[in-house]
Amino acid sequence: MFDDRTDAGERLAAELESRGLEADVVLGIPRGALPVARPVADALEADLDVVVARKLGAPENPELAIGAVASDGSVWYNDDLLDRLDVSEAYLEEVREEEAENAREKADRYRPRDRRGLPDLEGKRVVVVDDGVATGATATACLRQVREAGADSVALAVPVGSPSGVADLEREADEVIALETPDSFRAVGQFYREFGQVSDSEAIDYLER
């Protein structure tokens, strides 16, 4: 159990330091990951920025993730679920374009007006941080965007994750570090004593520190 996201970030940072992990850039998945990512970036003496993805909701059930898309259009689909629900190509294309644009707009809110898009990741060592992993859908799309940007190595670091979500993400990242992968996992928030919403202004404050 973590007290809050900052506590989780400090414990995650200590684990990464003990492993000797090195990074040039730490990317938090907003908004909830920024309080976690700030201590990690500070400990690794790395720049902190964001990488953004949006969930693709199923027809008639937008809370059910059939995939995720990052701000650059990098996409991940749950093929088993798509087959089971018989989702049309037309629906997929429409929701992918809509959510990719939403992701771009969200990413731009956190960056100076004179800089849009990810920082230069060509040849860089990158650590992607989230406050936890359930299905891993948005994290997968984010990791694929970082790969496409030319990162030399990509690690994912989270305080807690579902065993299945973490296992799936190990196919997307060079390394996945999760402090806890409990069999009793139901939702990320159950492992935090305090798990309130992080506002845009709070998230930007963590980036600017």
Average the pLDDT over 136-140 and give the result.
Answer: 93
| Residues 40 and 62 both lie in one domain | no
Q: Which domain holds residue 182?
A: 5-52+118-208
| Residues 41 and 136 both lie in one domain | yes
Q: Which two tokens stand for residue 124?
A: 């860089």
Consecutive H or E run containing 6: helix 5-18
The sign of the torsion formed by the CA atoms of 87, 90, 91, 95 equals: positive
| Residues 102 and 201 both lie in one domain | no
Checking if the pLDDT of 112 tops 80, the result is: no
| Residues 78 and 15 both lie in one domain | no
| Residues 83 and 159 both lie in one domain | no
Q: What are 94-107's pLDDT values in tens digits?
A: 999 999 999 999 88
CA distances from 46 to 37, 52, 186 (A): 10, 19, 32
Average pLDDT in the chain = 93
pTM score > 0.75 for this model? yes
| Residues 41 and 123 both lie in one domain | yes
| Residues 167 and 123 both lie in one domain | yes
In degrees rounded to 5, what are phi and psi of residue 153? -145, 145
| Residues 103 and 124 both lie in one domain | no
The sign of the torsion formed by the CA atoms of 138, 121, 206, 3 equals: positive
Checking if the pLDDT of 116 tops 80, the result is: no
Instruction: Look at residues 109, 132, 147 and tell me which one is the last residue of a structural domain.
Output: 109
Q: What are 20-79's pLDDT values in tens digits?
A: 999 999 999 998 999 999 999 999 999 999 999 999 999 989 888 899 999 988 899 999
| Residues 173 and 70 both lie in one domain | no
What's the domain count of the chain? 2
Q: What are 10-20's pLDDT values in tens digits?
A: 999 999 999 99
Instruction: Look at residues 109, 134, 156 and tell me which one is the last residue of a structural domain.
Output: 109
Rounded distance between C-alpha atoms, residue 74 and residue 69, angstroms: 6
